[in-house]
Amino acid sequence: MRVIAGVCKGRRLAPVKGLSTRPTSDKVREAVFDIMQGRFPCKKALDLFAGTGAMGIEALSRGASGALFVDSDGASVAVIRRNLDACGLAERALVLKRDVKSALRLLAGKGESFDLIFIDPPYASSLAVDALREIDASGLISPGGIVVVECSKRNPAPPFELEHIELVDERSYGDTLVRFYEVKDGPA
């Protein structure tokens, strides 16, 4: 696993030991960032269920001014910090060890907003839907921002209506499905 582009291009990222995480493959990460290339540099990225931190680190490497990483697993948090240090990006990042739902509520309570939000929970869970609903209700995505959700192509969440954000694109890579959401046009 490596950083695909930007100031840290080619840097190897440490994995989380064991089977508790499923890092986004280099191929999928490269495709996602190619699709979003016109949106960089973004100001702030939020990497939920961050695992190794690869998505947020890729955003920082490509010019994001800051990134926040959220994961409830202590081993993942340690690996994210190690990867940020190895890439020289720790000063532009914050890592929170807490569950995503409480982190989203904390960030919304502080009035935070992000240009780019990654959601990549365990495939066999409903956590992506829960996180999307929380983001939609809280206003954490900036106008013009994008939410990227990675899920299993075999068992994706069925499409559902959100009040402020909408599905605008969907791509599949092997058994991975990537969905892109944006803030709806018009009054929110």
Contact between 59 and 87 (Cβ < 8 Å): no
- Alpha-carbon span 2 to 185, nearest angstrom: 36
Torsion sign across C-alpha atoms 26, 64, 162, 171: negative
153-166 residues labelled b (16+ CB within 10 A) or e (exposed): eeeebeeeebebbe
What residue type is 83 in one-letter code?
A: N
- Name the band, by pLDDT with cuts 50, 70 and 90, for residue 54: very high
Average pLDDT of the chain? 89
For the residues 49-76, what does the mean pLDDT come to?
95
From 168, 176, 175, select the one nearest 141 (Cα to Cα). 168
Q: What angle do CA 143, 145, 146 make, to 5 degrees?
A: 140
- Alpha-carbon span 166 to 118, nearest angstrom: 15
Question: Does 27-112+133-155+167-174 carry CATH code 3.40.50.150?
Answer: yes
**Taking 60 as the threshold, does the pLDDT of residue 184 lie above it?**
yes
Summarize pLDDT for 126-172 with one digit per residue, the tens: 888 899 999 999 989 998 899 999 988 877 776 678 899 999 999 99
Summarize pLDDT for 86-114 with one digit per residue, the tens: 999 999 999 999 999 999 999 999 999 99
**How far separated are the first and last CA of the chain, in Å rounded?**
38
| DSSP alpha helix (H) spans, 54-160 | 54-61, 74-87, 100-109, 127-138
